[in-house]
Structure 1
Amino acid sequence: MKYTSTALLSLLLAGAGLFSCTPNPYASTNRSHKKQLKAYAKELRTVPAINPKESTLQLGDYWVGTTNFNMRKANYVVIHHTAQNSTDHTLRTFTLPRTSVSAHYVIGRDGKVFHMLHDNLRAWHGGNSRWGNNTDLNSCSIGIELDNNGTEPFSDEQINSLLEVLAMLKEKHKIPAENFIGHSDIAPVRKVDPNQTFPWKKLSEHGFGLWYDEDVVKDYLQPAAPITVLDSTGTQPALILQPLDSVLTIPPHFNPKEALRIIGYDTRDLPAAIRAFKLHFIQDEVNMELTDRDKAVLYNLYQKYL
């Protein structure tokens, strides 16, 4: 079974060059992009892939091509901030071969979306990362970079465009809600993006990522019993003190490290995993220690991932 170059390239080049008649400052790198796509298309059209004259394998008497296959399927979306000064800065970075970094989408502060790579191709955005047992997130994820210097809030225009892109990706690729994650989630030792102003709760309300149940977490934290101070005789209450602390009522056998691992975090460096968890779900006092409230949030989320 042999594919025509027209049929294959129609998938790889979908949408290329259709956006504007305005002179494109990236015309030369776009030509390089198309050249790489053609090279991959040519490789995919090689039938059979093993050359009998160059192989020592004992091959069958004839080539048989299966009819049951498709393109790479993304199952995760990983959200980043660029930590650069502008969208143009990031676009230049992602079009320089020496940087060896890229993403499928870049979304500017003004909400403009740049689709830099076909969803079914592998971008280089995750680096050395891990989520659950997956140690190659680049091969199964779509990377989205948000133009942000790493400390500033994200604009409404940017988040609104992000929500539109995520809705499109979720529908197109059937990505589960829990598989919308951040770069810091998959690389807790190295990364802190997107920063702690990122609206993960808002995303979860639209079906992108999980969030905890605030009422349930509140129920896990019960007010501590008042402390009665007796008078000098030791028989009459002289003062009743109301403790400021709460009592955590989650099961005593709950193991935070195991819960983080089940959610997906790489817990080989537990303090880093805790910090990444707090960056995503707590977003204040982002440090490497779990308070009672943090543990209540973690316990609630952990049950959602079971």
Structure 2
Amino acid sequence: MRNPYAATNKSYRQQTKALAHQLRTQPAQPPTDSLPTTPYWVGTVNFNLRKPNYVIIHHTAQTSTEQTLKTFTLVKTQVSAHYVIGRDGQVFHMLNDYLRAWHGGVARWGGITDINSVSIGIELDNDGTEPFQEAQLTSLLKVLASLKHTYNIPAANFIGHGDIAPVRKSDPSALFPWPRLAARGYGLWYDAAVLTDTTAAPFAADSCGQPLPGLTPREALRIIGYDTQDLEAAIRAFKRHFAPVDTGPALSEQDRRILYNIYRKAL
């Protein structure tokens, strides 16, 4: 069967060849008008490729895998991801993990503002209103296991697009099974005891009973990684991930206990 993406695959090979040429090029000497020149170039022997340290999970907000593959192979869209996983579990590995996909957009996590440069983007074929299919989740877990093992990615660094861009994005939707992933070491999750422990005093004391003056939900969200410039958006994003029954901008007492628990795990 003829590959319908033969033309874009050729473009991929041409672009990677051009990048490889850039890597082989000897670094330029400092500009002579601003820095002292050196008598010769010295290349270090201690280096390798930069590796990804985050995984960002998306839903495609489209109607089929084929639609998404087309979107990611049109220059005019200016979007891409490393992996696309279909509802049937098929995995399309569209970009070498060491290369920079354009999936995060304007986003922030902690002090990182260029998410694309440090992350792997995974798109799940899902329109954002439907449950995720079992075959799809099975394949996702296999991909995540490989990425975690290959790049030694910390559990806390498996997050959603809505987490890094709370004002703009909601993927992978409130229907995504984050607890299932966290149980396997892909993402943080709260301890079940916080749901019933009404004696907990979040944002009041640490584990040794010492006061934590000034610690607020905003500060806890910021420490976890959320951009809190728009606090309501950050709260919605947090609740969509950790308490998806109600994703409004208000924190219930239970939400606060969950937030405090995740904050402690993120320290």
| 4+ runs deviating over 2 angstroms | 54-59, 248-254
Q: What residue ranges of structure 2 are gaps of 5+ in the alignment?
A: 205-212
Please report how far the alpha carbon of residue 249 of structure 1 lies from its aligned counterpart in structure 2 after TM superposition.
3.7
Q: Which residue of 2 aligns with 1:25?
A: 4
* SS at 1:163 equivalent: helix
Q: How does 1:212-291 map to 2 (within 5 A)?
A: 212-219=190-197, 221=198, 249-252=201-204, 254-291=215-252
* SS at 1:29 equivalent: helix
Higher RCO, 1 or 2 (CA under 8 Å, sep at least 6)? 2
Please report how far the alpha carbon of residue 43 of structure 1 lies from its aligned counterpart in structure 2 after TM superposition.
1.4
Matched, 1:113 2:82: no
* SS at 1:193 equivalent: coil
User: Residues 100-137 of structure 1, C-alpha deviation per residue, up to 9 Å, x if partnerless?
Assistant: 10000000000000000000000000000000000000
Q: Which has the larger radius of gyration?
A: 1
* SS at 1:143 equivalent: strand
Please report how far the alpha carbon of residue 217 of structure 1 lies from its aligned counterpart in structure 2 after TM superposition.
3.5
* Aligned length, in residue pairs: 257
Contact 1:217 1:300 in 2 (8 A): no
Please report how far the alpha carbon of residue 214 of structure 1 lies from its aligned counterpart in structure 2 after TM superposition.
1.1
Q: Which residue of 1 aligns with 2:208?
A: none
**Alignment partners' CA distance in 1, 2:103 and 2:202:** 38
Q: What residue ranges of structure 1 are gaps of 5+ in the alignment?
A: 1-21, 223-247
Matched, 1:66 2:66: no
**Alignment partners' CA distance in 1, 2:29 and 2:4:** 41
Please report how far the alpha carbon of residue 250 of structure 1 lies from its aligned counterpart in structure 2 after TM superposition.
3.2
**Alignment partners' CA distance in 2, 1:159 and 1:137:** 24
Q: How does 1:197-212 map to 2 (within 5 A)?
A: 197-212=175-190
Q: Which residue of 2 aligns with 1:45?
A: 24
* SS at 2:104 equivalent: coil
Contact 2:54 2:118 in 1 (8 A): yes
Matched, 1:97 2:75: yes
Q: Which residue of 2 aligns with 1:185?
A: 163
**Alignment partners' CA distance in 1, 2:29 and 2:40:** 12
Q: TM-score, normalised by structure 2?
A: 0.93
Matched, 1:173 2:173: no
Task: Using the aligned pairs only, state the percent identity.
Answer: 61
Aligned-pair Cα RMSD in Å: 1.5
Q: TM-score, normalised by structure 1?
A: 0.81
Matched, 1:84 2:35: no
